[in-house]
Amino acid sequence: MSRKRHSAEFKARVALAAVKENKTVNEIASQFGVHPSQIQEWKKRLLQGAQALFGSAQERQQRSANEPDAAELFEQIGRLKMELEWLKKKAAHFE
């Protein structure tokens, strides 16, 4: 059994229909051919994302400033690996 992949546009359309609450989740599921629990998940993600959408630019900058850059993290991993190898070599002399 293969999983069906839906576009972001389709997910947004279904989630918006669920947020409007003009129909029940089961009615929306029948209309779009999607499981009701999937609709609930997309609705939840839409509502969580809406907070970020309407947040101020300053809040978004603070959030991105607090998150470390991926390049910095990879650099740190590389340094730590080198230090670990150096320590393993030095520890081998004491065994």
Domain ranges of the chain: 1-57, 65-95
pTM: 0.56
How many CB atoms neighbour CB 52 within 10 A?
10
Tokens 């839409």 appear where? 46
- The confidence score (pLDDT) of residue 60 equals 66
pLDDT at 51: 78
Residue 48's pLDDT is 87
Whose CA is closest to 42, among 53, 54, 55, 29?
29
Asked whether the beta carbons of 42 and 11 are under 8 A apart, the reply is: yes
- Each residue of 39-92: pLDDT tens digit? 999 999 999 888 777 777 777 677 667 777 788 889 999 999 999 999 999 998
Whether residue 19 contacts residue 46, with contact meaning beta carbons closer than 8 Å, is answered with yes
What CATH number belongs to 1-57?
Answer: 1.10.10
